[in-house]
Structure 1
Amino acid sequence: MKFLRNLVASILGFFIALFLLFMFFVFIGALVGSDDEVRVKPKTVLSLDLSMPVKDYAPKDNSPLATVLELTESNVGLNALLNAIENAKTDANIEGISIQSTFVNAGFAQTQAIRKKLKEFKESGKFVVAYNDFYSQKSYYLSSVADSVFLNPVGAIDFKGLSTEILYYKDFEDAYGVQMEVIRHGKYKSAVEPFLSNEMSEANREQTTSFLKSIWGEVVSDISTSRKISESKLNTIANDALGRNATLANEHQLIDGIIYEDEYKKRLKSRVDGDYESLSIIDYMSTGKGRIATFSPDKVAVIFAQGSIIYGEGNEQMIGQGLINKALKKARENKKVKAVVLRVNSPGGSALASELIWREIELTKKEKPVVVSMGNYAASGGYYIACNASKIIAEPTTITGSIGVFGMLPNMHKLAGKLGINAEQVSTNTSPSYSVFEPMDEKFYKVTQEGVEQIYETFVTRVANGRNMTYKEVDAIAQGRVWSGKEAVAVGLVDRLGGLSDAIQTAAELANIDTYSIRNYPSYDRDLKSKLKLSPFAKASQEEAVKELIGEEGMVLYQTLKEMKALKGIQARMPFVIDIK
């Protein structure tokens, strides 16, 4: 009995100690929060640095424990950022915005949306200025909206046009005996092309050139308007790399002056008539300025679908039918929600999950308007889940379309032969089967091809019905072809160009409501164990360790291989990597 009493006392003491430790962290968190409270003072200049990842949706964990242990991720939500700039327009304490972002960790569609909002801010009468030691191309595109753009005397501007690089693996497969067995529909379905050939097909080169030119046209047009430089001259500057040093950049009107950072700060002082307070836009958002305050009982639900599409629950990085369908159902059944906006930022993925999400949108659309807002990508499976919306709105630089399907399986038959390995199979029946150690037989290929064709036909039919087009009309612009948002309007895949705010306004108009508040979905609930995985005190994650070992460039190949491993079932997705530089 004494042993049991001691055991119970020990267990009880452990849990009491754990509770007291938890309360200690909460107490410390409260103290830290009170000391670090951000106050927006008069004569404040907001500092805009977009070097941290910009996500369409970045829900924050504001619990004291998460704050103290630094369990929150370093990223910023696009919509919150746009709201902050909108609020700053009418904030009497905010004098202007200073852009100092050497690199912009956002896609072109996101960058264009931020640039548009900065333009609106400038048109309100407040200033926007920019300074950098060096401008990456995307950073210069963003900064060119400013009243004045300045550059360090030994700096440069990387302004050279857009390009992308695709890796091809056919010779590697032949050399090492590891290959990918591919079944696809769509002559433009280039997601699998690198495993079938060692060079780019004419069809893939055609579509890639087309959407790159379309996106570059938007970039040049926007810069031309802001800097008052003709588009032809800007293309000459890009062709001849005439931003490669500060002197050339100044001669060709890409910048307004060559100065050091201390001189830039003196210019800021002159803009506000004396000393000023510098506040990062992230800190400004922490004061509640990342939200637009409204008190209307009517709501527009904004559901964020970001990342590759997988069959399963999903999370902040991956779209699963689990979380998205729950969010759609909640919005549909909430009587205060009058309309739904689905924000899609996805290169596609699982065809089955895409179909399940499509069905939930179909059910929701019968009761409330559903408007799709397209981000950087809404392609293949990303377009599948958008095609039946009441209206589709995309940024001009969105990459969309890619209406095509493929299946892909690894095969190591040749490698096994080289290593002296022989695989023998025993089965009770003669149904088509596949072994990674045997060549794909004709029977298995035939039934898999039937599956691919069936899903392609279903995909095209879904698009035809959703867009009020014939099957033949959709098939002519499908075949896996990728389009820019601007091109997609011309071929009928998108209704009009615009950002998330335009989509929200359109949804409100379709629901016949004048005033409304925004309700974001889905909610992501992490338990303590998953939070601790993000902690800097915890063991470094596998990806962090790999990145440390192989660097940024090596991570591109690592992520490609990781995505290949995650593919399950027939896929409706874009090429694995489109990195526009």
Structure 2
Amino acid sequence: MKFIKSFFSWIGLFLEKARFFILNLGTAFILILFILIIINVLISKPEVKDSIGSVLIIDPKGSVVDQEVFNKYFLFNARDASAEQIQTRDLIQLIRSAAADDDIPAVLIDFSSTSFAGPTTAINIAKELKALRESGKRVIAFNDHLSTASYLMASQASELWVHPVGSVSVRGLGGLNAYQRELYKNLKVNFHNYSQGEFKSALEPNTRSNMSENERNQRQALLNPIWNEMKSLMADGRSIEASVIQSFADNFVGFIGEAALGNIDYAKTNNIIDGTKSFPEFRQYMIDEFGLDEEAEIDTYKSISYKDYEKHINRKDIYSDNQISVITAEGAIMEGEVSRGVAGANELIRQIRSAYEENNTKAIILRVNSPGGSIIASEMIRDELLAAKKKDINIIVSMGDYAASGGVYISTPADYIFAEPTTITGSIGVAFAIPTFEKVIDFIGVNFDGVVTSKHGGWNLAQAIDDDLDKIFVSWGADAYRRFIHFVSESRSQSPKDIEKIANGRVWIGTNANAIGLVDEIGGIEEAIKYAANMNALKDYQVKYYGDELTYGEKIIKKLQKNSEISQRVPSVLSALDGLVGLLETFISIKEPKALFTCMDCLVELD
């Protein structure tokens, strides 16, 4: 019995040791394999596909933004873990390179899976496609569905084809807000609005049952010029009247995205599109036009993706003792690090400091594409720009889709401000509201009592706002507003009274902002760079775009993604956690109300 017991004990020990050995061996094998894959990706040069005689396919699947951001914490942000980013300047360079490339017989475009930072970005890309067509390059659009933004792009093509049971829909701009005053009343929640500026409408949905006339008028003043510019581009691209586009938008809506047969019939009849082709028909059409790809395993035409074509583009790096630094503030202005949709002040001030501490930096261009946000975060960015000016470095601001509220605030140190014709700017005001729940507490039968050593020491959102506290909250908003007015008046060399007339939380389209002196000149980032060079009398200079600085490990992950086209798939459980985080942020914003330099109603959605 003792022998048997000893034998099985030995067997158990052997199996345990064997299990650990096999587990460690397997782990080591996997680790070595992973390291070899990484080394292979890093040292191997990606294959450069021949572009001669190939149709260039431009079909971005992701967001067109001013500055790419690599999210360091991608595993905990499911919303954009695998979303591709395309920098506007890179896409423009690609389109311009194709226009000058005689080896490329045609360009096939499909922007149906592309989103844009805003309407100005979309308009600028459409103008580049228009210039591509006018260069004599054949531009072909083929889609199974087209929305407002993707049709804006497709309409610039030499010819435009849609699948027979696809959809063409131009819905235009604007939308309906949900006004929730009655909801809060039914829930017995008091909403106290301390916003500064008659046009500051960010909190209207919480305090009104309908849109105010001020908000209606300023929305019309913004949307109509942008919509007219888009209609003009669409109509010009198709050689039709803008009224045809308007009639199409008014009477033919494609909510479902497929089998919109009536829309397609109207579009064909009125030259909104050239016609329809199924996928096999279009493939054969392209083979007939451009020849069969002899190297392909299946019958198709010779083509090259825009990602492969980028490898052919000769990017000449200019080295100079003179540097113009471009720093991008894109998204909501908040404390913390830069991430997608967030202009993180902590990271931006590091970029600004890095730029002005470089001896060869002659000017800093702040590219603003933000509707504003936190007051303290806006102050942090502004302070760092002023520190750069103390070193005799010129600050030039280039406003993109949006530079409103906090976007204006961080622009105040500028020596010169450019805005695009359709930039949305202004909204000089303060958004500040406090919900209180005293009626809810009273309804459920809860009373508060206790001892405090100061008058309002025990106050929280569950209690009413008395007259003294009301005066304090009014002064908070008013003081922040006066400070905002002062900085803008100082920046624009106008009196505070003159700025008050154009402030009041009102938003302006770029051309109007230029007319009233909020910006100095209409132009884009290229004009801003040229101005900075001329301002400093630079005969030669290099442009440095600052972005999120990555660790070596993060650079490996990014290169793995790019070279191996690896898409980071996030488990569904993390998606759920991401949603819970968003919900938690909402509750925190209610528990800790803040005054903001924000203009979220400035955003214009493109379908």
- Shorter-chain TM-score: which interval? 0.7 to 0.9
Residue 95 (structure 1) aligned to one of 93, 105, 110: 105
Query: Which residue is equivalent to 2:268?
Result: 250
Counterpart CA distance in 2 for 1:50 and 1:526 is 27
Q: Name the amino acid aligned to 1:402.
A: S
Q: Does the aligned pair in 2 maintain the 1:52–1:75 contact within 8 Å?
A: yes
Q: Name the amino acid aligned to 2:145.
A: F
Q: Does the aligned pair in 2 maintain the 1:44–1:278 contact within 8 Å?
A: yes
Q: 1:327 to 1:290 in 2, by over 3 A?
A: farther
- Measure how far apart 1:527 and its partner are: 8.5
SS at match of 1:75: strand
Query: Which residue is equivalent to 1:66?
Result: none
SS at match of 1:455: helix
Q: Confirm whether residue 468 of structure 1 aligns to residue 478 of structure 2.
A: no
Q: Does the aligned pair in 2 maintain the 1:178–1:411 contact within 8 Å?
A: yes
Q: 1:233 to 1:489 in 2, by over 3 A?
A: farther
Q: Does the aligned pair in 1 maintain the 2:334–2:343 contact within 8 Å?
A: yes
Residue 415 (structure 2) aligned to one of 387, 390, 410: 390
Q: Matched residues, percent identical?
A: 30
Q: 1:313 to 1:135 in 2, by over 3 A?
A: closer
- Measure how far apart 1:575 and its partner are: 3.2
Query: Which residue is equivalent to 2:157?
Result: 146
- Measure how far apart 1:316 and its partner are: 4.3
Q: Does the aligned pair in 1 maintain the 2:61–2:84 contact within 8 Å?
A: no
Counterpart CA distance in 1 for 2:283 and 2:148 is 24
Counterpart CA distance in 1 for 2:314 and 2:599 is 32
Q: Name the amino acid aligned to 1:447.
A: I
Counterpart CA distance in 2 for 1:573 and 1:50 is 30
Q: Name the amino acid aligned to 1:263.
A: E
Q: Any stretches of 5+ residues in structure 1 without a counterpart?
A: 1-13, 63-69, 550-554
Counterpart CA distance in 2 for 1:486 and 1:332 is 31
Deviations 1:130-177 (A, max 9, x none): 111121011111211111122222333212432222122211111123
Counterpart CA distance in 2 for 1:315 and 1:219 is 30
Question: TM-score, normalized by length of structure 1?
Answer: 0.85
Q: Does the aligned pair in 1 maintain the 2:434–2:593 contact within 8 Å?
A: no
Question: TM-score, normalized by length of structure 2?
Answer: 0.81
Query: Which residue is equivalent to 2:140?
Result: 129
- Measure how far apart 1:188 and its partner are: 0.8
Q: Does the aligned pair in 1 maintain the 2:514–2:522 contact within 8 Å?
A: yes
Q: Does the aligned pair in 1 maintain the 2:507–2:602 contact within 8 Å?
A: no
SS at match of 2:448: coil
- Measure how far apart 1:90 and its partner are: 3.6
Query: Which residue is equivalent to 1:493?
Result: 518
Residue 172 (structure 1) aligned to one of 175, 178, 183: 183
Q: Any stretches of 5+ residues in structure 2 without a counterpart?
A: 1-22, 73-79, 255-261, 294-300, 562-566
Q: 1:56 to 1:482 in 2, by over 3 A?
A: same
Residue 470 (structure 2) aligned to one of 432, 440, 445: 445
Describe how 1:151-230 pairs up with structure 2 within 5 A. 151-230=162-241
Describe how 1:230-241 pairs up with structure 2 within 5 A. 230-241=241-252
Q: How many residues align?
A: 554
Q: Does the aligned pair in 1 maintain the 2:452–2:458 contact within 8 Å?
A: no
Query: Which residue is equivalent to 2:13?
Result: none
Q: Confirm whether residue 337 of structure 1 aligns to residue 346 of structure 2.
A: no
Greater Cα shift, 232-241 or 302-311: 232-241
Deviations 1:426-458 (A, max 9, x none): 321225774111012222221221121111111
Q: 1:529 to 1:51 in 2, by over 3 A?
A: closer
Greater Cα shift, 15-24 or 345-354: 15-24
Q: Confirm whether residue 356 of structure 1 aligns to residue 356 of structure 2.
A: no
Greater Cα shift, 204-213 or 155-164: 155-164
Q: Name the amino acid aligned to 2:379.
A: E
Describe how 1:545-560 pairs up with structure 2 within 5 A. none
Q: 1:378 to 1:22 in 2, by over 3 A?
A: farther
Q: Name the amino acid aligned to 1:346.
A: S
Q: Does the aligned pair in 1 maintain the 2:51–2:309 contact within 8 Å?
A: no
Q: Name the amino acid aligned to 2:329.
A: A
Describe how 1:78-117 pairs up with structure 2 within 5 A. 78-106=88-116, 107-117=118-128
Counterpart CA distance in 2 for 1:205 and 1:573 is 18
Q: 1:388 to 1:53 in 2, by over 3 A?
A: same
Counterpart CA distance in 1 for 2:226 and 2:125 is 16
Counterpart CA distance in 2 for 1:544 and 1:270 is 49
Q: Does the aligned pair in 2 maintain the 1:103–1:136 contact within 8 Å?
A: no
- Measure how far apart 1:490 and its partner are: 2.7
Describe how 1:250-289 pairs up with structure 2 within 5 A. 250-269=268-287, 271-272=289-290, 275=293, 276-285=301-310, 287=311, 289=313
Q: Confirm whether residue 379 of structure 1 aligns to residue 404 of structure 2.
A: yes
Q: Confirm whether residue 54 of structure 1 aligns to residue 64 of structure 2.
A: yes
Query: Which residue is equivalent to 1:27?
Result: 36
SS at match of 2:446: coil
Q: Does the aligned pair in 1 maintain the 2:169–2:263 contact within 8 Å?
A: no
Q: Confirm whether residue 318 of structure 1 aligns to residue 324 of structure 2.
A: no
- Measure how far apart 1:59 and its partner are: 4.5
- Measure how far apart 1:562 and its partner are: 7.5
Greater Cα shift, 234-243 or 179-188: 234-243
SS at match of 1:375: strand
Residue 45 (structure 1) aligned to one of 43, 55, 60: 55
Q: Does the aligned pair in 2 maintain the 1:432–1:444 contact within 8 Å?
A: no
Q: Confirm whether residue 429 of structure 1 aligns to residue 454 of structure 2.
A: yes
Residue 513 (structure 1) aligned to one of 538, 548, 553: 538
- Measure how far apart 1:186 and its partner are: 0.6
Q: 1:332 to 1:40 in 2, by over 3 A?
A: farther
Query: Which residue is equivalent to 2:331?
Result: 307
Q: Does the aligned pair in 2 maintain the 1:87–1:292 contact within 8 Å?
A: no
Q: Does the aligned pair in 2 maintain the 1:321–1:356 contact within 8 Å?
A: yes
- Measure how far apart 1:23 and its partner are: 5.5
